[in-house]
Amino acid sequence: MKRSTRPAATGRLTLLEKNEHHYPDHPDRATLEAFANRYRDRDYWIEFDCPEFTALCPITGQPDFGHITIRYVPDRFCLESKALKLYLFAFRNHGTFHEEVVNRIRDDVVRAIKPRKLEVRGIFNPRGGISIRVEACYNH
């Protein structure tokens, strides 16, 4: 399945303009949209905080809960937040390991907006008495 993680070439934010709420059931079917960064001449951080992230354990099928933080310094594009919300929601019924979640988000965001810097952190709730923290970074 081809991932749609490119910035909207026309500048149209198709997901933001829709009133309907179609929730993708897999990250491959989610779209990350972007808009032009008006402040390309400076470095500044943007942070998205998702304290209610959910995915499925790929072995047991049980839900895993975590806290995802995405911080980046934009270059030409900024992520649109509604599209990001729907993208993250798409993991809800997707079986994946915590390490894969964080690295996949990192790769998909880099593919979508090519930021100057990016940090993706996942802090996952304990299962079997062990919590997991994963961080994946990118520097252009």
Looking at the annotation, which residues are catalytic?
57, 64
* CA gap 89, 54 in Å, rounded: 8
Q: What length does the chain have?
A: 140
Question: Which residue, 91, 109, 105, is CA-closest to 29?
Answer: 91
* CA gap 84, 18 in Å, rounded: 15
**What residue has token string 């996942």?**
122
Strands (E), the chain: 34-36, 46-56, 63-73, 77-79, 117-127, 130-139
* CA gap 43, 108 in Å, rounded: 21
